[in-house]
C-alpha cells in the first residue's frame, strides 16, 4: 500500500486560510490526523470544530523563530508523532515601489520563518528515521519579477533550500540514517485572498489545488505543479532568454 493511502499524522504549518486550510480539510476528510497551526487561534478553532477529534490546533507564529521549534515539538508530541510536515505559512505583496517594510515582512515570513520550520522538520525526521517534508513555494520563484522583486526572491530561496534538503535526504538514505522525502509544491495562480498578482491566468480553485497537492503528497513527488499545466510554464520560464525576460 502506498504510504499516503494509510492513515497518517500530518502537520500543516499555516492552515488558517487559503491553500493550507483547504489541504487540511481534504486530508482530514480522507481519514488522516491533521495538526494545524497559524497565528490566529480563532480560525484554527473553527476548523477544528468542523471535524471533532480529527484536528490538533496550535497557535504558532513562524516569524517568532526562537519559540517556533518548541511549539512544534509540543504539537508533534501531542499528536503521538508526525509523519508528514507541510509548510504552507507564507505569502507576499506586489511591491513595485520597493517599500522596504514590505520586503522585510516577506523576508521574515518566507525566509526566516520558513527556514526555522524546515530545519525543525528535517531534524525531527532525521532523529525519527523517516518522514516527509513538503513546502508550498511558487512559480514566481523561478525568475525575478519587476512587480515584486522580494516575493520572487524569497520563493527562489525556498525552492533552492528544498533542493539542498533533498540532497541531504538522499545522503541520509545512502548512509542508512533516515528515509526522508522532500517535496516542493509549486503553484501557479490559485484563487485565494492572498493572491495579489495584477495579471492572472489559469487560476485554480483552491479546492482543486488542495486535491492535487494531496495526490502529489500521496505519490511522494519531488515537485508538484499546481495545477499540472503549470509544469509547461515552469519549463518555458526557466529557459526564457535573459534578454527577453528583462523586457517583460
pLDDT 10s digits, 133-172: 999 999 999 998 888 899 999 999 999 999 999 999 999 9
Q: What is the mean pLDDT of the chain?
A: 91
Asked, for residue 1, whether it belongs to a domain, the answer is: no
CA-CA distance, 165 to 122, in Å (whole number)? 8
In a domain, residue 48? The reply is yes
63: in domain: yes
| Any domain includes 104 | yes
Greater confidence (31 vs 190) lies with 31
- Asked whether residue 200 is domain-assigned, the answer is yes
Mean pLDDT of 54-80: 97
- Would you state the cell numbers that stand for residue 61, as one nine-digit string? 507564529
Question: 2 in a domain, yes or no?
Answer: no
Contact 81, 13 (CB under 8 A): no
d(CA 129, CA 176): 9
Q: Is residue 77 part of a domain?
A: yes
A 10 A CB-CB count for 198 gives 8
* CATH code for the domain in which residue 118 is found: 3.40.50.720
Model confidence at 4: pLDDT above 60? no
Peptide bond into 46 cis (omega under 30): no
For residue 1, name the pLDDT band (cuts at 50, 70, 90): very low
158 assigned to some structural domain: yes
Residue 47 has pLDDT above 60, yes or no: yes
> What residues have CB less than 8 Å from 221, skipping those under 6 apart?
183
Q: What is the pTM of this model?
A: 0.92
Question: Cα–Cα distance between 181 and 133 in angstroms, integer?
Answer: 6
The total domain count for the chain is 1
Q: SS3 of 201, please?
A: coil
CA distances (Å), origin 248, targets 92, 147, 201, 244: 21, 10, 16, 7
The range of the structural domain enclosing residue 19 comes to 7-245
CA triple 124-105-103, angle to 5 deg: 120
- Residue found under cell 516542493: 184
Run of H or E residues at 14:
none
pLDDT band at 189 (very low <50, low <70, confident <90, very high): confident
The answer for 90, left when phi > 0, alpha when psi is -120 to 50, beta otherwise, is left
Q: List Cβ neighbours of 21 (8 Å cut-off, separation of 6 or more).
A: 15, 43, 47
Task: Using pLDDT thresholds of 50, 70 and 90, give the confidence band for residue 92.
Answer: confident
Q: Which of 144, 69, 156, 45 is nearest to 107 (CA)?
A: 156
More confident residue, 144 or 131: 131
Band the pLDDT of 90: cuts 50, 70, 90. Answer: confident
Closest CA to 121 of 24, 223, 35, 21: 35
Amino acid at each position: 500500500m502506498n504510504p499516503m493511502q494509510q492513515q497518517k499524522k500530518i502537520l500543516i504549518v499555516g492552515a488558517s486560510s487559503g491553500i493550507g486550510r483547504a489541504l487540511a480539510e481534504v486530508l482530514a476528510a480522507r481519514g488522516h490526523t491533521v495538526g494545524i497551526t497559524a497565528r490566529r487561534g480563532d480560525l484554527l478553532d473553527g476548523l477544528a470544530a468542523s471535524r471533532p477529534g480529527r484536528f490538533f490546533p496550535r497557535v504558532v507564529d513562524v516569524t517568532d523563530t526562537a519559540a517556533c521549534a518548541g511549539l512544534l515539538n509540543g504539537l508533534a508530541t501531542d499528536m503521538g508523532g508526525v509523519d508528514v510536515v507541510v509548510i504552507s505559512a507564507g505569502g507576499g505583496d506586489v511591491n513595485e515601489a520597493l517599500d522596504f517594510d514590505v520586503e522585510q515582512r516577506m523576508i521574515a515570513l518566507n525566509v526566516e520563518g520558513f527556514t526555522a520550520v524546515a530545519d525543525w522538520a528535517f531534524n525531527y525526521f532525521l532523529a525519527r528515521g523517516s518522514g516527509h517534508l513538503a513546502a508550498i513555494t511558487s512559480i514566481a520563484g523561478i525568475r525575478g519579477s519587476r512587480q515584486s522583486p522580494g516575493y520572487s526572491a524569497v520563493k527562489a530561496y525556498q525552492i533552492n533550500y528544498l533542493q539542498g534538503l533533498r540532497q541531504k535526504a538522499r545522503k541520509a538514505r545512502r548512509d542508512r540514517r533516515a528515509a526522508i522525502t522532500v517535496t516542493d509544491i509549486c503553484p501557479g495562480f490559485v484563487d485565494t485572498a492572498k493572491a495579489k498578482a495584477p495579471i492572472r491566468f489559469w487560476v485554480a480553485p483552491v479546492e482543486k489545488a488542495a486535491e492535487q497537492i494531496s495526490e502529489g503528497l500521496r505519490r511522494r513527488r519531488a515537485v508538484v505543479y499546481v495545477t499540472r499545466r503549470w509544469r509547461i510554464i515552469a519549463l518555458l520560464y526557466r529557459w526564457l532568454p535573459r534578454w527577453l525576460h528583462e523586457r517583460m
